[in-house]
């Protein structure tokens, strides 16, 4: 079983800038996360970038992280699995039992495959 994010609906209408601001942790720490994402469709690449600000008392720490993520569609994932000797037998839209895959709405793309 392979569980991935379903980029199909998201990549056509991306939310490239979002923020979770002023999250309070139980110890009094304040946290803000800013996401600044980009897509390179020609290379099937999503670049997730995050700036994190953490305040503990009077101290503020800033961090930056970047992760290049492969954009998979059902077809591109199926092709890659077949090249590596696997045969997809089921596709699901999430990990809940019976979560049907809908290319435009499913949050996940889950493939069950067997080795050929």
Domains of the chain: 2-115 (2.20.25.110)
Highest mean pLDDT among 8-12, 72-76, 87-91: 87-91
User: Which pTM was predicted?
Assistant: 0.63
Chain mean position to CA 73: 13
**What pLDDT is stored for residue 13 in this prediction?**
64
**Which residues in 67-96 are b (16+ Cβ under 10 Å) and which e?**
eeeebbeeeebbeebeeeebebeebbbbee
pLDDT over threshold 90, residue 71 = no
Counting residues of the chain whose pLDDT is more than 70, the rounded percentage is 92
**What pLDDT is stored for residue 73 in this prediction?**
86
pLDDT over threshold 70, residue 11 = no
pLDDT over threshold 70, residue 45 = yes
Return d(Cα 107, Cα 64) in angstroms, integer: 26
Q: Which two tokens stand for residue 85?
A: 């000797």
Beta bridge partners of 108: 5
pLDDT over threshold 70, residue 9 = no
**What pLDDT is stored for residue 63 in this prediction?**
96
CB-based contacts of 82: which residues, under 8 Å, 6+ apart?
Answer: 88, 116
């Amino acid at each position: 079983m392979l569980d991935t994010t379903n980029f199909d609906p998201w990549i056509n209408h991306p939310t490239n800038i979002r923020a979770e601001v002023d999250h309070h942790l139980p110890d009094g720490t304040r946290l803000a996360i800013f996401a600044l994402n980009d897509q390179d469709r020609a290379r099937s690449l999503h670049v997730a970038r995050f700036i994190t600000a953490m305040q503990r008392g009077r101290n503020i720490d800033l961090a930056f992280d970047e992760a290049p993520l492969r954009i998979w569609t059902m077809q591109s994932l199926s092709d890659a699995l077949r090249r590596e000797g696997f045969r997809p037998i089921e596709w699901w839209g999430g990990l809940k039992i019976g979560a049907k895959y809908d290319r435009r709405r499913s949050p996940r793309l889950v493939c069950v495959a067997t080795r050929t």
